[in-house]
Amino acid sequence: MGFNGIKAEVNVPGQIPWEIILIYFIGAVLLALYFGKKTGGLKAFTTVDLVYIGIAGAFSVVWEFYIGSFIGRFIPSTPFVSVGFWGRFVIVLIVAALVRKVGTGMLTLFIFSLLSDIFHYGFGGEPMFFIYETLTYGLFVDLMIAATGGHIFNIGKELTGGGTGSATATRLSTVLALIQGAVLGFSWSIPDPIFYSAFFSPFIYGSYVNWSHILFNLVAFIPGDVIIGAIGAILAVRIAKAVGQ
């Protein structure tokens, strides 16, 4: 017996215990809120912020399921390349750079999940997919915003010094943006193989857990996601500067 197509299996061999997942979700959210409040990244959204977030969530759906899917037809199927996913990742990095407030990632991914259900998947399995998208991909972005005090990719920080000092500060800012983007890329490679394949999929569908497959996918996802994260961070910085931030 289940609810909305959710079997609620918690004893599938190899499945991550639900207690660990619950502890992570609660702990990570509290950590994001704590550091966001402490460092200044936890602020109320403005109307413009919500517009950015709404556009990002909507365009993520358009990219992943239409544009990215079309481009993907011309690329051999491989776990090392995911045009649709990478496009969504870059879009989320851009909106994070524009808004820079804790909650940006989770709200963007919530909108993405909602619109995905409306236009592509249907609502079977909900609310588990809302939880999965917002509290993994979205929360990872918010943790970075919180950790940087609302200055993700070093946006909004004053560059001190002039001449050579200013050039050095600019290079340092670029390096920090690259590192943060790469870290986010690494973190975004984790949810699908670990959270989904090792918990949500067996929880919802009773799927078999194959840790060899999970670890292979994790290793396959990391290089591309890290590179795209670094590139996306630099692109996000440029777009933020272009709109006067």
**Residue 1: band (very low, low, confident or very high) from pLDDT cuts 50, 70, 90:** low
Residue 162 has pLDDT above 60, yes or no: no
> Is residue 160 assigned to a domain?
no
> Is residue 63 assigned to a domain?
yes
Q: Please give the mean pLDDT across all residues of the chain.
A: 91
Residue 203 has pLDDT above 50, yes or no: yes
Q: Find residue 6's DSSP bridge partners.
A: 3
> Is residue 6 assigned to a domain?
no
Residue 179 confidence (pLDDT) = 96
14 alpha-carbon distance from chain centroid: 25
Each residue of 183-201: pLDDT tens digit?
A: 999 999 999 999 999 999 9
Each residue of 46-63: pLDDT tens digit?
A: 999 999 999 999 999 999
Residue 74 confidence (pLDDT) = 87
Each residue of 83-127: pLDDT tens digit?
A: 999 999 999 999 999 999 999 999 999 999 999 999 988 898 899
Residue 88 confidence (pLDDT) = 96
Q: 111, 118, 152: which is closest to 133 by C-alpha?
A: 111
Residue 163 confidence (pLDDT) = 47
> Is residue 5 assigned to a domain?
no
**How much is the average pLDDT of 128-154?**
94
**How much is the average pLDDT of 232-244?**
93
**Torsion of Cα atoms, 207 then 210 then 213 then 215, to 10°:** 120
Q: Find residue 68's DSSP bridge partners.
A: none
> Is residue 83 assigned to a domain?
yes
Residue 161 confidence (pLDDT) = 52
Range of the domain at 124: 11-153+165-243
172 alpha-carbon distance from chain centroid: 24
* Counted domains in the chain: 1
Residue 60 maps to which CATH number?
Answer: 1.10.1760.20
Residue 244 confidence (pLDDT) = 77
Residue 165 confidence (pLDDT) = 54
Residue 26 confidence (pLDDT) = 94
Question: Which residues lie closer than 8 Å to 240 by C-beta, 6 or more apart?
Answer: 94, 97, 98, 153, 155
Task: Tell me whether residue 33 is exposed, middle or buried, using C-beta atoms within 10 angstroms of its C-beta: 0 to 12, 13 to 18, 19 or more.
Answer: middle
Residue 130 has pLDDT above 50, yes or no: yes
> Is residue 1 assigned to a domain?
no
Helices and strands, number each (H, E), in the chain: 10, 0
